[in-house]
Chain A
Amino acid sequence: MIETIIALATPAGESALAVIRISGPLSHIIAKEACDCTNPTPRKTYLVDYQSSDGETLDQVVITLFNKGKSYTGEDSLEISCHGNPLIIELISKDLMNRGCRIAQPGEFTKQAFLNGKIDLPQAESVAQIIAAKNEQSLALAQRNLKGKLSNKLLSIQKDILGLQASIEAHIDFPEDDLIKEDHNKYQQNVKTIIKELETLLLQANRTKLLAKNIRVVLAGLPNVGKSSLFNALAGKNRALIHSDAGTTRDYLEFDIKIGKYWITLVDTAGVHNASEEIELAGIEMSLEQAEEADLFLWVIDNSVPHPSELPKDFTKLIQSKPTLLIRNKSDLGENDWIPNYKKTPKAINISSTEKSGLKQFERLLLELIQEITGVDAENEYLVSVRHELLIKNCLDELNHFLQKSKEKVGEEITSLHLSEAREKLDMMIGRKTNEDMLDILFGEFCIGK
């Protein structure tokens, strides 16, 4: 039985097109069931809708089928060109796995090609070197991430899962020993904690997507503090309507600018205050939505007013949880230099958008902040490849199964199976742990010996 393996053939990140390569016996079935393309002519392209097993159309894609013996790997193969959006790639990959495919090991395609005689025998050496190199690349990525805490985090999660398994296995294999009573709630609590940590990691993984996608910088502030003037100063022209009446910007405005090497989407929102007019209320609601999607806040206040009142609660919360730059606008009209009394004091800067003073320094600060959120060496750190991200998601799925099966009160041999599978996914990224490692923990923690 040959497994069907998949891999992304184009670089990770945003691009116009991405190619997902499938190799193995499921190729025909996927063409038929996911792409509604029965018995396609090999090597011919078809424009089709890719439908997930839940019946949802994920993307319009171009597929090409290669028959066994006539493909790169020598197996039945299918190439799917989809739009180069990381989300689409992820959804399609995930669906392919639901249909029984497996993520390829580094160099596995080349290996299949060799084993099927697609690459000459004398070339064995170069094939082996390719695999060794790809594996090294993948390890190097993990190594780099080690500094970026990713691998450390995964290693500690792997250890936590081993520990959980040790406890469950101790109770399965030594039923007559005098062990501490099993606390199933605690198991579930521990798994929930692990899930949270993995979700945080995924969020970090999403941060790396900032490299591919624009960074959303949202201007927030009370009405009439000069958000729109700042927006226009940055955008370079009078895009937003500026008016001295409070509450002029009722909708929101977007503009893409480039600061340093980063593309930024600048978002101007309606000023937030305890508005009474319905249309304004709607605008404020929309501002809140925008704020939630922000990668970074520019909190604009009026520096000519002695004690600027703070933003409504929802905003204050958001501002404290995301990177924020406090901009004291209208510095030409007064120097109150107010600082909010938060746990983490945001960086602050005085500018005057009408006199265009302080804008250079503002750009520098903004750039610093962006580098902070995308990582110091953004290209290396936190860079979780699509493969890693999918593996983490697989791992999460297994852990969620664990929780569900625990609730259903099926036997521990089942819940433990899901833990094993979850661990296996981590093993694929950071190195294998064996049953011996689990037993070491087991005998270290439990007094066995009836």
Chain B
Amino acid sequence: MTLRVNTPSKPYDVIVCGAGHAGCEAAIAASKQGADVLLLTGNLDTIAQMSCNPAIGGQGKGQIVREIDALGGEMALNADFTAIQFKLLNTSKGKAVQAPRAQCDKKAYQLRMKHVLEQQPNLTLFQSMVDGLIVQKSSCKGVTSSMGLHFYGKTVIVTTGTFLQASTHIGQSKSEGGRLGDHSAKGLSAHFIKHGIELRRFKTGTPPRLLGNSINFDGLDEQSGDKNPSKFAFYDSRSDSEMFHVEQNRRWAIKNNQVLGSNLVKCFLTSTTETTHKHINENLHLSPLYKGDIVGTGPRYCPSIEDKVVRFSNKDSHRIHLEPEGVNTDEWYINGLSTCLPFEIQQKVLKSIPGLENAKIIRPAYAVEYDYAPPTQLNKCLESLLIKSLFFAGQINGTSGYEEAAAQGLIAGINASRSALGLDSLSIYRNEGYIGVLIDDLTTKGVTEPYRMFTSRAEHRLLFNHGSAEHRFLLKSQAYNLHSRSRRENIRNQLQTTDTWIKTLETTKAESGITYAHQIKSVSELEILFPESFHQLPRSVQDEVIYRITYDGYLKREIAAAKRIKNAENLEIPPSFSYNSLPGLRTECMEKLNQLKPSTLGQASRISGVNPADISIIHIYLERFTKLQKDEGD
């Protein structure tokens, strides 16, 4: 398809600005919905780049990746195909909070994603930096980009990550860029402000990358992956001929249960020493974080090493993970050593860490400061409340993490395309999965630091075990046409098999005379002699059957509680509803509600400072409001 430049009469259905983890999912999801998509990126070589650690998944995040897969996204497959080490986290804890994680080959990950974009029908990929929006009558009509090109679209999705007004810091040295050596998106911020969109500053950082052959691995703790990989994707329907050549090898290996990389690479563990902490303390004044050069708020869960040393001065050592960035490079990621201290100090610090005494830095650590647009300015489809047809996804919404970004991209992509095609929108609620929690938290509570998913954010996480994602989203994926027919069939069959087996195990007695279900609840899984036919089921089905039996009572309780959330979610608060004259509502509460403008009673109830009595009062007036409006309508 030829690139349509300056053709307002023939707009694209969806224009996606940025090809990071959010942008890629947005573009793919939109084109899968049948939309005509243009994906613009400042640099084709940095598509789907893992700017920080070369890993996908982890606690809270791994579950999100599985949900992305259950909703037809690409991240799970991309991670499975390019993983070089798999690990299931929290195996010592309950299954509800176990999460898959994989070290991925950074370059392979990018190349495969680029290839998927290239192969996607209705998707045009083009390298050009977006520098402005075309807005008419509070509605977004397209974008302007470098070289003075104008692109018109019925909807626009902004996924600019950390690139808005971005600056990188290494000690005193400050330069423009959303990533070291990359550009910064300058024009867009001014456009957003002009159209009334508020922007704020966040900060994040990344550690130095080292040359592997300069690291002395002797004596460091090895961390290898699981023998049996826990993959992210539930299902892959493509034929061999549809695949990228690199994948075909990998697929063969996966089919034969020999995932390349399941045991291919090892990570290593070392730790900081007292000398490290001494260097850091002596040079704190050189860190832009402590000098006050950086004003943006950083994430508490991913502090720089200087923050860790200062805030936890009682700890005499901090753990450092050494992770390879790929199989075709000897570049290593030094997880836990994020910093923005000057380069010379970074070298000093490394020398004080066992194994890294002679390590060569090939990419220095740096901090990046960037604009984000507080996500309370969005509705739950991730569309701007101020400018119609303008969607936001990813780090620009104040989140952090590839998985969180991808999930938003997926939702924004589906909704932008459906809006362009005149179809109804898709909302994921917080009683359905982590993606629902993510979007609800962002749009109603907003963020005070880069937002990362924690399982504790979900009130009913027992319902969100990673293995159930496909089942949970079956109805949604059917209604919004997110999967191929064969995959839908497959999920339905699996769900049916699961339900049937649960009944069977609940009623069938084992040799010991008690039911299997009872055994599952009382003894370890390994001690149970299941019927042979049970073992013939796919492992994922077995796991789900056992999970649902083990947690039976709790799951029922959680489902009932989640239903309450849903009921409150169904009570929509119209945008024209005013809190100002409600008697009995406390001023503090009124201010909060006016500021955050929750779209449902459920969202209102989760705002801190709003108590049940306030909700009752709002509920009453909401009822009165809708009835009066209806009367007027009649």
A contact residues around B583 at 8 Å (CB): 125, 128-129, 132
Assess whether B59 is in contact with A175, with CB atoms less than 8 Å apart. Answer: yes
A449 at the interface (CB under 8 A from B): yes
Assess whether B616 is in contact with A413, with CB atoms less than 8 Å apart. Answer: no
Assess whether B616 is in contact with A173, with CB atoms less than 8 Å apart. Answer: no
Number of CB contacts from chain A to chain B under 8 A: 139
Assess whether A1 is in contact with B623, with CB atoms less than 8 Å apart. Answer: no
A278 at the interface (CB under 8 A from B): no
| Chain B interface residue count, Cβ-Cβ cutoff 8 angstroms | 56
B560 at the interface (CB under 8 A from A): yes
B contact residues around A412 at 8 Å (CB): 93-94, 97
Task: Give 1 or 0 for each of A150-193: 1 = CB within 8 Å of chain B CB.
Answer: 00000000000000010001011111111000000000000000
A438 at the interface (CB under 8 A from B): yes
A contact residues around B308 at 8 Å (CB): 447, 449
Assess whether B627 is in contact with A413, with CB atoms less than 8 Å apart. Answer: no
A17 at the interface (CB under 8 A from B): no
A314 to B181, CA, bound (A): 82
Assess whether B319 is in contact with A177, with CB atoms less than 8 Å apart. Answer: yes
Task: Give 1 or 0 for each of B79-108: 1 = CB within 8 Å of chain A CB.
Answer: 000000000011001111100000000000
Assess whether A172 is in contact with B97, with CB atoms less than 8 Å apart. Answer: yes
Task: Give 1 or 0 for each of B136-161: 1 = CB within 8 Å of chain A CB.
Answer: 00000000000000000000000000
Assess whether B619 is in contact with A129, with CB atoms less than 8 Å apart. Answer: no
The 8 Å CB contact of B319, one of A169, A172, A178, A410, is A178
A165 to B454, CA, bound (A): 13
Output the nearest chain B residue to A178 by Cβ-Cβ distance: B319
Q: Counting chain B CB atoms within 10 Å of each CB, which of A133, A134, A172, A443 scores highest? A: A172
**Given A124-B621, A128-B583, A129-B584, are A173 and B454 neighbors across the interface (CB < 8 Å)?**
yes
Binds A, one of B10-18, B25-33, B298-306, B345-353: B298-306
B630 vs chain A, min Cβ distance (A): 11
The 8 Å CB contact of A131, one of B94, B584, B624, is B584
A176 to B73, CA, bound (A): 27
Give residues 36-89 of A contacting B (CB, 8 Å).
none
A106 at the interface (CB under 8 A from B): yes
The 8 Å CB contact of B554, one of A127, A417, A431, A439, is A417
B613 at the interface (CB under 8 A from A): yes
A contact residues around B616 at 8 Å (CB): 105, 107-108, 111, 128, 131
Binds A, one of B250-258, B455-463, B475-483, B496-504: B455-463
Assess whether A176 is in contact with B584, with CB atoms less than 8 Å apart. Answer: no
Assess whether B93 is in contact with A1, with CB atoms less than 8 Å apart. Answer: no
A447 to B457, CA, bound (A): 19
A432 to B605, CA, bound (A): 11
Give residues 174-216 of A contacting B (CB, 8 Å).
174-178
A450 at the interface (CB under 8 A from B): yes
B contact residues around A3 at 8 Å (CB): 564
A209 vs chain B, min Cβ distance (A): 28
Give residues 427-446 of A contacting B (CB, 8 Å).
428, 431-432, 434-436, 438-439, 443
B238 at the interface (CB under 8 A from A): no
Q: Counting chain B CB atoms within 10 Å of each CB, which of A1, A173, A432 scores highest? A: A173
Output the nearest chain B residue to A438 by Cβ-Cβ distance: B456
B612 at the interface (CB under 8 A from A): yes
**Given A410-B94, A411-B96, are A127 and B301 neighbors across the interface (CB < 8 Å)?**
no
Give residues 148-183 of B contacting A (CB, 8 Å).
none
Task: Give 1 or 0 for each of B300-343: 1 = CB within 8 Å of chain A CB.
Answer: 11110000100110010011010000000000000110100000
Output the nearest chain B residue to A132 by Cβ-Cβ distance: B584
| Chain A interface residue count, Cβ-Cβ cutoff 8 angstroms | 49
Task: Give 1 or 0 for each of B532-556: 1 = CB within 8 Å of chain A CB.
Answer: 0000000000000000000100100
The 8 Å CB contact of A124, one of B338, B564, B624, is B624
B285 at the interface (CB under 8 A from A): no
A contact residues around B621 at 8 Å (CB): 124, 128
A contact residues around B338 at 8 Å (CB): 449
Assess whether A413 is in contact with B461, with CB atoms less than 8 Å apart. Answer: yes
B208 vs chain A, min Cβ distance (A): 16
Assess whether B311 is in contact with A447, with CB atoms less than 8 Å apart. Answer: yes
B311 vs chain A, min Cβ distance (A): 7
A105 to B616, CA, bound (A): 9
Assess whether B563 is in contact with A449, with CB atoms less than 8 Å apart. Answer: no
B contact residues around A131 at 8 Å (CB): 584, 613, 616-617, 620
B490 at the interface (CB under 8 A from A): no
Assess whether B94 is in contact with A413, with CB atoms less than 8 Å apart. Answer: yes
Assess whether B318 is in contact with A175, with CB atoms less than 8 Å apart. Answer: no
B608 at the interface (CB under 8 A from A): yes
Assess whether A413 is in contact with B96, with CB atoms less than 8 Å apart. Answer: yes
Assess whether A1 is in contact with B89, with CB atoms less than 8 Å apart. Answer: no
B contact residues around A16 at 8 Å (CB): none
Assess whether B336 is in contact with A414, with CB atoms less than 8 Å apart. Answer: no
Output the nearest chain A residue to B92 by Cβ-Cβ distance: A175
The 8 Å CB contact of A173, one of B96, B271, B455, B567, is B455
B508 at the interface (CB under 8 A from A): no
A448 at the interface (CB under 8 A from B): yes
Q: Counting chain A CB atoms within 10 Å of each CB, which of B300, B301, B583, B619 scores highest? A: B301
Assess whether A127 is in contact with B620, with CB atoms less than 8 Å apart. Answer: yes
B420 vs chain A, min Cβ distance (A): 36
B349 vs chain A, min Cβ distance (A): 16
Output the nearest chain A residue to B607 by Cβ-Cβ distance: A434
Assess whether A447 is in contact with B315, with CB atoms less than 8 Å apart. Answer: yes
B611 at the interface (CB under 8 A from A): yes
Assess whether B619 is in contact with A111, with CB atoms less than 8 Å apart. Answer: yes
B582 at the interface (CB under 8 A from A): yes
A253 to B513, CA, bound (A): 59
Output the nearest chain A residue to B612 by Cβ-Cβ distance: A105
Task: Give 1 or 0 for each of A388-418: 1 = CB within 8 Å of chain B CB.
Answer: 0000000000000000000000111110010
Give residues 355-400 of A contacting B (CB, 8 Å).
none
B contact residues around A439 at 8 Å (CB): 300, 454, 456
A121 at the interface (CB under 8 A from B): yes
A164 to B559, CA, bound (A): 25
**Given A172-B456, A173-B455, are A448 and B301 neighbors across the interface (CB < 8 Å)?**
yes
B295 at the interface (CB under 8 A from A): no
A115 at the interface (CB under 8 A from B): yes
A299 at the interface (CB under 8 A from B): no
A135 at the interface (CB under 8 A from B): yes
B386 at the interface (CB under 8 A from A): no
A114 at the interface (CB under 8 A from B): yes
A372 to B131, CA, bound (A): 75
Assess whether B301 is in contact with A449, with CB atoms less than 8 Å apart. Answer: yes
Task: Give 1 or 0 for each of B444-483: 1 = CB within 8 Å of chain A CB.
Answer: 0100000000111100011000000000000000000000
B514 at the interface (CB under 8 A from A): no
Output the nearest chain A residue to B584 by Cβ-Cβ distance: A132
**Given A417-B462, A450-B335, are A443 and B94 neighbors across the interface (CB < 8 Å)?**
no
B60 at the interface (CB under 8 A from A): yes
A31 vs chain B, min Cβ distance (A): 22
B220 at the interface (CB under 8 A from A): no
A449 vs chain B, min Cβ distance (A): 5
Assess whether B628 is in contact with A172, with CB atoms less than 8 Å apart. Answer: no
Assess whether B456 is in contact with A169, with CB atoms less than 8 Å apart. Answer: yes
A1 to B456, CA, bound (A): 26
Q: Counting chain B CB atoms within 10 Å of each CB, which of A134, A410, A413, A435 scores highest? A: A413
**Given A105-B616, A108-B616, A128-B582, are A175 and B89 neighbors across the interface (CB < 8 Å)?**
yes
Assess whether B628 is in contact with A121, with CB atoms less than 8 Å apart. Answer: yes
Assess whether A121 is in contact with B96, with CB atoms less than 8 Å apart. Answer: no
A-B contacts besides A1-B564, A128-B616, A411-B96, 5 pairs, CB < 8 Å: A121-B624, A175-B93, A411-B94, A412-B97, A413-B97
For this complex, 13 residue pairs linking A to B, each with C-beta atoms less than 8 Å apart, are A1-B567, A111-B616, A115-B620, A124-B621, A128-B616, A132-B585, A132-B613, A178-B271, A178-B318, A413-B461, A414-B462, A431-B611, A436-B608
| A residues apposed to B, CB below 8 Å | 1, 3, 105-108, 111, 114-115, 121, 124-125, 127-129, 131-135, 165, 169, 171-178, 410-414, 417, 428, 431-432, 434-436, 438-439, 443, 447-450
A-B CB proximity, top 5 nearest: A411-B94, A132-B584, A135-B613, A178-B319, A443-B300
